[in-house]
Amino acid sequence: MKRVKLLGKLEQKVMNVLWSCKCSMTPREVLETLDDGHAYTTIMTIMTTLYEKGFLERDQQGKGYTYSVKSTMEEYAKNRLSSHFDEILNNFGDIAVAQFVQSLGDDPKNMKILQDAINKAKNKRKQ
């Protein structure tokens, strides 16, 4: 499986703004939404980098660009987690599975999510 590129802290913040918006935004609009003291040029550079990494699409609007996400947050998270889980399982096998289950603790909500995922995988195999 292809390894999913990781996002830096500021890249993640920018992506979160765009995922929340579900629209195209300029670097200025993202900067105003973040409102955390970054320079306009920093946000513009981050958004250009995210475009070059393949996370964003962009359209020219006058002298600048508007940017939008290429995939949903759920798709990104699923791909990122899947590549990490595959690597961990390949390297550590049973230990990784046991540690994952143990990390869930006794939270009934998490245990139900895990059980539902197991049942879904079993049903998928039967088909």
Enumerate residues 6+ apart whose C-beta is below 8 A from 34. Answer: 13, 14, 17, 43
- What is this structure's pTM? 0.74
8 Å CB contact between 12 and 36: no
Residue 7 CB: number of other CB atoms within 10 A? 18
The CATH number of domain 9-69 is 1.10.240.10:
no
- pLDDT tens string, the chain, 127 residues long: the values are 455 567 999 999 999 999 999 999 999 999 999 989 999 999 999 999 999 999 999 999 999 999 999 999 999 889 888 888 888 999 999 999 899 888 888 888 988 988 898 898 888 888 7
